[in-house]
Chain A
């Protein structure tokens, strides 16, 4: 018994040290974001540390950070909502309906799931210019309004739901769209939660496409603004870290609430193949 608890304590302290290793850079970021002064070396002197909100205030007055915050929120929320609806509809069609093109369409979902967006950045730039949506919200919403990851997750989940309730609704004369909205969507809540958190985080953190498909300062998302603010004379490191903290905050909050869902989503998403 004695030996057991010593070993347990040892394990716990090892776990804590490893935890510190992963969390330390974030503690550093938070400390710097609230620091009154910041030395050139970046080593914060804790003995003379004084807390201030000035860095945050300056972000909103001098750098107008509220614009990228609003842009990122609008895009992430619209993309998430549209994925919840459209991926459920597509997932339903692929899970329940039997039609000629089902095989090829399912195949296209799985194939695109494996293609990284990085390989088409150049044609996407050229095409959004041709379509006239370059530098608009549409360029950052339309390509992701329905995602192969979402279709795949929803199809898998819907395949596992018993069909009795749909049959009952169909006998009562409900249309397919009514069945999706009234029967399927409510039954899919657990999968929709996983999908929502996943899609929101991906779009909130996304850098590559927003960076490539916009150029106006008023169109920048938060990650793009952060990356481009760096190196500007007018911004110092505590301000940059204050902005980073604002960017990481929704992630951290969602993570604390939905840690299990995020984990599930990651595993489901990764094991799709």
Chain B
């Protein structure tokens, strides 16, 4: 009787979890295996026949200037946005973590860009960055000469322009995470420091920053992984141009695999991206384990 009912329970458990098990198999495990298999072929959607080519796609990728450019651009994007987003987010979090009227309102306003569709934001900034637009007006005010065709049509400024927009958009999101970390610091620590006569800088250096360290680590890794996924803004604003100067890895995967229909080749690029993200995630797990150990 006992064993019958527990077996029945087990069947019920798998039944309850069947939506997830199906999703996992159909939309994650299956595609990941398919991606691996496709990358060893010269499969193109336009022709029905294909050949197994082994690792050739991978070798070709590392000889492909556009792919290497996308790798470089994605790295520039990550390294060039991460410090700014992180520092601005910490500053805003510290700023909002003090006595301030309408604090919740300001918190929401700073965070708002992160909940709006990237397509909408990219469309608005495309106009702002256009020749003669408001950002040129700002540049004129500080005496910077903008490129003749607008920020997004110059090889030198297109990628930095998209990066600046991303910093603007993402700062509020990371600010929220830092704010949550700040609010978990016991108030007594600050009170004790004040009794000792510490000034704000000493409090920041001795109490606040050390307490933010675990979150900082987490934010850096999360932000790196997100930076490797940049696609929508490139699609809306520049289509990878001018002259591949904004070609990112995901855009390369899309363009090769789904635009030119070089499915095998695109899948190989996607797998390299996957590998990079997996390595970063692995480092994340290790660092977090070390921290809690």
In the assembled complex, which residues on chain B have CB atoms less than 8 Å from the CB atom of A211?
235
Q: How far is the CA of A241 from the CA of B131 in the complex (A)?
A: 18
Are A41's CB and B130's CB within 8 A? Answer: yes
Please give me the residue from chain A that is nearest to B113 by CB atom.
A22
Number of interface residues of B (CB under 8 A): 91
* Cross-chain pair count, CB within 8 angstroms: 251
In the assembled complex, which residues on chain B have CB atoms less than 8 Å from the CB atom of A247?
117, 119-120
Are B266's CB and A122's CB within 8 A? Answer: yes
Are B110's CB and A22's CB within 8 A? Answer: yes
Residues of chain A in range 80-139 having any CB-CB distance to chain B below 8 Å: 86, 89-90, 92-94, 97, 99-102, 105, 108-109, 112, 114-116, 118-127
Q: How far is the CA of A99 from the CA of B281 in the complex (A)?
A: 28
Contact of B117 among A8, A89, A240, A248 (CB under 8 A): A248
Nearest CB of chain B from residue A88's CB, rounded to whole Å = 10
- Chain A binding site: helix, strand, loop or mixed by DSSP? helix
Are A122's CB and B35's CB within 8 A? Answer: yes
- A57-96 interface bits toward B, Cβ cutoff 8 Å, 1 = contact, 0 = none: 0000000000000000000000000000010011011100
Please give me the residue from chain A that is nearest to B25 by CB atom.
A108
Q: How far is the CA of A16 from the CA of B102 in the complex (A)?
A: 10
In the assembled complex, which residues on chain B have CB atoms less than 8 Å from the CB atom of A32?
127
- A202-227 interface bits toward B, Cβ cutoff 8 Å, 1 = contact, 0 = none: 00110110011000000000110011
Determine whether B48 belongs to the interface, using a CB cutoff of 8 Å to chain A.
no
Nearest CB of chain B from residue A74's CB, rounded to whole Å = 17
Q: A residues touching B (Cβ–Cβ < 8 Å)?
A: 8, 11-12, 14-16, 18-19, 21-23, 25-26, 28-29, 32, 40-43, 86, 89-90, 92-94, 97, 99-102, 105, 108-109, 112, 114-116, 118-127, 142-143, 145-146, 148, 151, 176, 180, 201, 204-205, 207-208, 211-212, 222-223, 226-227, 230, 237, 240-241, 244, 247-248, 251-252, 255, 259, 262-263, 266-267, 270-271, 273
Can you give 14 contacting A-B residue pairs, CB < 8 Å? Answer: A18-B95, A28-B124, A43-B133, A97-B16, A114-B225, A122-B38, A122-B253, A122-B263, A180-B16, A208-B232, A223-B117, A227-B232, A230-B123, A267-B177
